[in-house]
């Protein structure tokens, strides 16, 4: 009751602000109501429901679609286990030790399942597509961009002039070039410089292009974390008898990476969203599937349904990545020390 009285008094003292606030609330309410009515009543979701296998795996052979479906399912389960596991170890201490290795193993597992190998029939990368290709591009590019970015950040902070200047030149060059230009170079121009006998598949070229581009931004994020570590940390490490390399590896770099987690999360989310650019260069990832379906005469005019569905998928996976990063940040040891 007191809150309502306070709001009433505030409204009488500031009538213009109150009117504007009520108009904004009414506009938001109308937008939510109109959107909900369209989703439930007016939209035709047959373009989504009848093509769910295509959204997930693209033109992957129908008899082998269980392979990308299995990988995406394992990723989903691993994400839920990571988010829902107890904060404190206790009897589940083994789970905390196993989860990082499970995440690391998802990349070679995805490559093995999609590409085939020892006991699985080989499937060329031109048949990969849909959500599984989007997630694979993101995971492989991020796994490659992080170590390269860390090395670039260390190189830019190095006392060696050649290493420092070359790292700075690479970072400035990549940040000055649009991503689509880097992808175009990776997809269309790199094969022209290779011998005729050597052929790199399009997925690998896309991964390398994404990683080289993202590494420049990762380097700046890590460099910001390195600069935030006080010099007393390295002085204390030296007093304990640690060498400069040991001090960097055991004291400075772990703290810098923890500080950089929010910025690195933004880079990972941006990387997931930027994979949609590959639809312009021939790889049929998630957005490419939507574009190909809209070219089907049976689904002409269903643009809004397709893009709302794709927007919902991107939102769901970007939110999951943000929650995972928040969980990692919360579980990391506090700055300046380690948890017992």
Task: Choose from 37-41, 82-86, 225-229 the range with maximum mean pLDDT.
Answer: 225-229
Q: Contact 187/206 with Cβ under 8 angstroms?
A: yes
Q: 75 lies in a domain?
A: yes
In a domain, 23, yes or no: no
Q: What is the CATH number of the domain that holds 105?
A: 1.10.3720.10
Does 286 reside within a domain? Answer: yes
Share of the chain above pLDDT 90, in %: 36
Position 323 scores a pLDDT of 93
Asked which of 225-234, 251-260, 325-334 is least confident by mean pLDDT, the reply is 325-334
Q: Which of 95-104, 170-179, 221-230, 329-338 is least confident?
A: 329-338
Nearest to 306 by CA among 283, 288, 287, 290: 290
Q: CA-CA distance, 98 to 129, in Å (whole number)?
A: 30
The answer to whether position 245 is within a domain reads yes
The Cα-based distances of 9 to 2, 6, 20, 22 in angstroms read: 11, 5, 16, 15
DSSP structure class, residue 333 = P
Asked whether residue 16 is assigned to any structural domain, the reply reads no
Residue 1 lies in a domain: no
* Residues 137 and 267 sit within 8 Å (Cβ to Cβ): no
Task: Say how many domains are in the chain.
Answer: 1
Q: 53 or 191: whose pLDDT is higher?
A: 53
In-domain check, residue 62: yes
> Residue 169's CB: how many other CB atoms inside 10 A?
11
Which is more confidently placed, 298 or 333? 298
- On whether residue 42 sits in a domain, the answer given is no
Q: What are the residues whose beta carbons fall under 8 Å from the beta carbon of 217, sequence distance 6 or more?
A: 149, 174, 175, 267
Mind giving me the DSSP string for 85-135? S-SS-GGGHHHHHHHHHHHHHHHHHHHHHHH--SSS----GGG--HHHHHH
Residue 251 has pLDDT above 50, yes or no: yes
Tokens standing for residue 29: 């309410």
| CB within 8 Å of 87: residues ≥ 6 apart | 330, 331
Structure confidence at residue 340 (pLDDT): 33
Range of the domain at 165: 50-86+95-331
Pairwise CA distance, residues 304 & 309, whole Å: 8
| Residues forming a β-bridge with 285 | 130
Helix (H, G, I), strand (E, B) or coil at 285: strand
Q: Which residues pair with 130 in a beta bridge?
A: 285
């Amino acid at each position: 009751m007191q809150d309502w009285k306070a709001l009433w008094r505030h409204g009488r003292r500031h009538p213009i602000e109150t009117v504007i606030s009520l108009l904004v609330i009414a506009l938001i309410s109308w937008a939510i109501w109109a959107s909900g009515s369209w989703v439930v009543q007016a939209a035709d979701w047959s373009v989504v429901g009848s093509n769910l296998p295509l959204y997930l795996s693209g033109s992957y052979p129908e008899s082998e679609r269980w392979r990308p479906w299995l990988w995406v399912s394992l990723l989903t389960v691993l994400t839920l286990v990571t988010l829902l596991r107890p904060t404190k170890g206790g009897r589940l201490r083994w789970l905390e030790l196993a989860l990082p290795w499970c995440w690391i193993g998802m990349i070679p597992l995805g490559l093995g399942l999609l590409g085939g190998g020892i006991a699985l029939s080989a499937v060329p990368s031109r048949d990969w597509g849909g959500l599984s290709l989007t997630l694979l591009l993101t995971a492989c590019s991020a796994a490659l961009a992080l170590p390269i970015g860390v090395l670039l950040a260390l190189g830019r902070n190095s006392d060696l002039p050649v290493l420092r200047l070359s790292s700075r030149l690479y970072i400035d060059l990549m940040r000055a070039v649009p991503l689509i230009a880097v992808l175009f170079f990776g997809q269309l121009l790199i094969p022209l410089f290779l011998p005729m006998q050597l052929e790199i598949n399009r997925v690998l070229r896309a991964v390398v292009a994404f990683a080289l581009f993202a590494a420049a931004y990762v380097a700046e994020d890590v460099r910001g974390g390195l600069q935030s570590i006080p010099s007393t940390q390295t002085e204390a490490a030296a007093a304990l008898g640690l060498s400069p390399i040991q001090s960097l590896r055991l004291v400075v770099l772990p703290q810098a990476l923890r500080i950089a987690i929010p910025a690195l999360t933004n880079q990972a989310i941006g990387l997931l969203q930027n994979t949609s650019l590959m639809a312009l260069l021939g790889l049929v990832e998630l957005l490419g599937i939507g574009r190909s379906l809209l070219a089907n005469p049976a689904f002409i005019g269903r643009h809004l349904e397709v893009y709302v569905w794709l927007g919902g998928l991107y939102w769901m996976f970007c939110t999951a990545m943000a929650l995972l990063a928040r969980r990692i940040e919360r579980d990391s040891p506090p700055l300046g020390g380690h948890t017992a």
